[in-house]
Structure 1
Amino acid sequence: MVDRRPVAGILVGAGHRPYPARVTVDRLLADLDAALRGGPPMIVGEPPEREVPMDAALVIRTSGSVSGRGRPVPLTTAEVTASVRATEARLAGPGQWLLALPAGHIAGLQVLGRSILAGTTPVQLGSEETIADAVARLRTDVPRYASIVPTQLIRALSPAGRSDLEALAALDAVLVGGSAVDPGAVAMARERGVHVVTTYGMTETAGGCVYDGVPLDGVEVGLEGGAVQLSGPMITSGYLDDGPQPFTLTAGRRWFRTSDLGRCSDGRLEVLGRVDDVLISGGVNVHPAAVERVIGEVDGVAGVCVVGRASREWGTEVVAVVVPAADARTPAGLLDTIRARVKSAVGAAAAPRVLFLRESLPLRGPGKVDRLAVAAWAADARPDASRG
């Protein structure tokens, strides 16, 4: 049975023809299927700056940031298929998927791709539906999977999410990615019977390509200056814009230099953080500079540094360390004002959940805030105000 409920909030098109503002999952499945068979490429987001390659089946922008467009990534049928087959080989084979993520991002689109190549129809999690309700509509004669973000796992572990957790435990595997996930939450979910598989990857790698720290078949991981490099048959050939191209060809293998820091031990990759300052909160990229610009214009703020700190629910929570002006309002009132301004100007994911007040910010040069020092201090300090 096809799913004709609309998917909101994504701008996509087959070829260069835009879809309506709301498009159904069965329409997306049909067009992606056609694209993978050599039809018009599926364009997700704004059209790329460069001409779309003849062999591209899909063009999708990276998350970029909550204030930017991201970079256009072309993926061929071979690259999408390589990712799907590698996932099937690591899990229990082809199966039916729960679509619990936005179809306008690579993780959601790969649920569609895996479904197409498996010959199954995904079950979409409705906006007013629980995970348990959606899982109940999955078939029972094939392997059953879900792909979720850490925030969804954390909520399933709460007392209110008991039925959802039981439903997830009935699946053959639950992929969890999009941002850092709390190891304690993973351990707790596994203890309760959920087959959690942590994933690492991005748009440029057609989604997750390292599961539970171990590269999928055909994937190689390298480190250069601490930065994670990835190679495999699912890696894109490059961005369709005029920006830097962090791709190299070595001994016939294409390598992609990520923006993540990592280390390898006993064949397992551990991702330590970002090379740049981008934070990933609840699966959404947040640029601290964009948030700082908004907060800096709030009355009562004399200085600000935005950093992240580990959060069990969000992976990383956005933290505002503020130097208040003499006439600043109470910490709680100031945080409410800051959150409202940032939500309006940048987006809800960028709104700080924690506020610290300091008399000054540490510097690492003339006028340059030492962001690492601020983050280290905020990791253990007691906030002046916070919001869940």
Structure 2
Amino acid sequence: MVVTLPCDGSPESAAALAAAVGAALEGDGPAVLPVAAAAAPPSFDVTAGVPDGTAAVVGTSGSTSHPKGVLLSADALRASAQATHARLGGPGRWLLALPSYHVAGLQVVVRSLLAGSAPVVHDSRGGFRAEHFRAADCRYTALVPTQLVRLLRAGGAAVDALCAFDAVLLGGAGVPPELVDRAREAGVRVVTTYGMSETAGGCVYDGVPLDGVRVRVVDEPRHVDAEGPAEGDTRGTILLGGPTLASGYLGEPELTARAFSDGWFRTDDLGRWRADGHLDVLGRADDVVITGGVKVSPSVVEAVLREQPGVGDACVVGVADGHWGQIVAAAVVPEEPGALGEGAEGELAGAVRVRLGAAAAPKAVRVLAELPLRGVGKPDRRAVQELFEDGGGRL
């Protein structure tokens, strides 16, 4: 049985969720499906039976296929929370600043329960507001990159609050290294995380798997992109295993069998092991742009764009083209209003050309006030593609 629980970002709804999840973790209540209060009902079958021991069902956004309900057992949720506390330095009080119907927010609730204290809630009714952000005597919090950007930009009390935490987990979307550097230079103890609903949230911290988590990089795609292959560079699909894995998808046994096999979950992400033994996540395999027969990794181009003066963020996509098959297109956001002046589009494309070669250079660039987002703060690549499909922004 699954009970749907609307969450509106208020302390009251967080308290109701904590009570329901606590009962589910102890086996005294049904599995809980947290949903956004104003959202339409889930499109997957919430009446389907759940395996014994299931404590929560987390809905996915359906960005890769269709919305799914991820089955998370009490054991998986506990294993993830305990491994997180072990990595960070022990249990502590948590600030809930993320939507609790996403796995990262749900895990803040679970960690709080295991630490013996209710989460302190950053009231997000009406949206996340940097001016109201406070540490509230908490040791830990979890954010997505867009929240961290807003807090650093606000400065003052917001940055003071960030610096008061023993650790600020940062994940839910690709994390630009320059954002992490900027935060750490300001004194924020940022810990980058990689994971997904199917792994009960983040399971690789700062490139190192949590205790018990297994990572493999397999099936080399012989992916040579515009940055050129580094010596000894081995890339492939990331597989994840260990006690934090989900039990599968609600009511979808065939999809479960394809994604989960022999104790491993096959992600849609490409990765590589660095020489120092840390995992680099290179982005989704289906985001790779093939232009004129050359494979280009959007994350590589985005990294170069973010290094350019005046650029705050970037999202690179492939757009269908009759001559090239696809072209590389880039949406960029100024670091502050007016930071990118007339002619910036051509200069940015030129900077990529110098660093990565002609194939990687965007043939279309648009400057936006902000990137379209989906879910917990991930760039909406489909929405960015649509901005270019009418031919706008081509150089």
Coarse TM-score class (shorter-chain normalised): 0.5 to 0.7
Partner of 1:356: none
Q: Select which of 10, 30, 40 maps to 1:40.
A: 30
1:135 aligns with 2:148: no
Q: Select which of 228, 249, 258 maps to 2:267.
A: 258
CA–CA distance in 1 between the matches of 2:188 and 2:5? 37
Superposed displacement of residue 278, structure 1: 9.2
The alpha-carbon distance between structure 1 residues 106 and 273, as it changes in their structure 2 partners (threshold 3 A), is same
Partner of 2:89: 92
Partner of 2:54: 56
Q: Select which of 368, 383, 388 maps to 1:386.
A: 368
Partner of 2:102: 105
CA–CA distance in 2 between the matches of 1:379 and 1:123? 46
Question: Deviation per CA, 1:287-310, whole angstroms, max 9, x where unpaired?
Answer: xxxxxxxxxxxxxxxxxxxx8862
1:146 aligns with 2:141: yes
Percent of aligned pairs with the same residue?
A: 47
Superposed displacement of residue 209, structure 1: 0.3
CA–CA distance in 2 between the matches of 1:32 and 1:145? 20
Q: Select which of 69, 76, 79 maps to 2:76.
A: 79
1:189 aligns with 2:183: yes
Partner of 2:173: 179
CA–CA distance in 2 between the matches of 1:231 and 1:314? 35
Q: Select which of 38, 62, 65 maps to 2:63.
A: 65
Question: Deviation per CA, 1:179-225, whole angstroms, max 9, x where unpaired?
Answer: 11111111111111100000000000000000000000011110112
Question: Deviation per CA, 1:147-197, whole angstroms, max 9, x where unpaired?
Answer: 000111122222x33321221011100000011111111111111110000
Superposed displacement of residue 54, structure 1: 1.8
The alpha-carbon distance between structure 1 residues 58 and 16, as it changes in their structure 2 partners (threshold 3 A), is closer
Paired residue type of 1:180? G
Q: Are the counterparts in 2 of residues 132 and 167 from structure 1 also a CA contact under 8 Å?
A: no
Partner of 1:119: 116
Q: What SS class does the counterpart of residue 283 from structure 2 fall into?
A: strand
Q: Which consecutive residues of structure 2, in runs of 5 or more, have no partner in the other structure? A: 36-41, 220-235, 290-297, 331-357, 371-395
Q: Select which of 189, 198, 201 maps to 1:204.
A: 198
CA–CA distance in 1 between the matches of 2:212 and 2:173? 23
- RMSD between superposed Cα atoms in Å: 3.0
The alpha-carbon distance between structure 1 residues 123 and 318, as it changes in their structure 2 partners (threshold 3 A), is farther
Q: Are the counterparts in 2 of residues 32 and 42 from structure 1 also a CA contact under 8 Å?
A: yes
The alpha-carbon distance between structure 1 residues 314 and 115, as it changes in their structure 2 partners (threshold 3 A), is farther
CA–CA distance in 2 between the matches of 1:234 and 1:263? 21
Q: Are the counterparts in 1 of residues 168 and 189 from structure 2 also a CA contact under 8 Å?
A: yes
Paired residue type of 1:74? L
Partner of 1:237: 247
Superposed displacement of residue 42, structure 1: 0.7
The alpha-carbon distance between structure 1 residues 187 and 40, as it changes in their structure 2 partners (threshold 3 A), is same
Superposed displacement of residue 248, structure 1: 1.6
CA–CA distance in 2 between the matches of 1:262 and 1:320? 20
Superposed displacement of residue 74, structure 1: 0.8
The alpha-carbon distance between structure 1 residues 166 and 20, as it changes in their structure 2 partners (threshold 3 A), is closer
CA–CA distance in 2 between the matches of 1:200 and 1:20? 26
Q: What SS class does the counterpart of residue 370 from structure 1 fall into?
A: strand
Superposed displacement of residue 237, structure 1: 2.5
Q: Are the counterparts in 1 of residues 149 and 179 from structure 2 also a CA contact under 8 Å?
A: yes
Q: What SS class does the counterpart of residue 249 from structure 2 fall into?
A: coil
Paired residue type of 1:246? A
Q: What SS class does the counterpart of residue 88 from structure 1 fall into?
A: helix
Q: Are the counterparts in 1 of residues 2 and 33 from structure 2 also a CA contact under 8 Å?
A: yes
Q: Are the counterparts in 2 of residues 96 and 145 from structure 1 also a CA contact under 8 Å?
A: yes
CA–CA distance in 1 between the matches of 2:369 and 2:359? 19
Moved over 6 A (4+): none
Question: Deviation per CA, 1:254-296, whole angstroms, max 9, x where unpaired?
Answer: 11111000001232100011012399xxxxxxxxxxxxxxxxx
TM-score normalised according to structure 1 size: 0.68
The alpha-carbon distance between structure 1 residues 382 and 246, as it changes in their structure 2 partners (threshold 3 A), is closer
Q: Are the counterparts in 1 of residues 2 and 50 from structure 2 also a CA contact under 8 Å?
A: no
Paired residue type of 2:261? T
1:370 aligns with 2:331: no
Q: How does 1:19-38 map to 2 (within 5 A)?
A: 19=5, 22=8, 24-38=13-27
Q: Are the counterparts in 2 of residues 123 and 134 from structure 1 also a CA contact under 8 Å?
A: no
**Greater alpha carbon shift after TM alignment, 204-213 vs 264-273:** 264-273
CA–CA distance in 2 between the matches of 1:384 and 1:170? 38
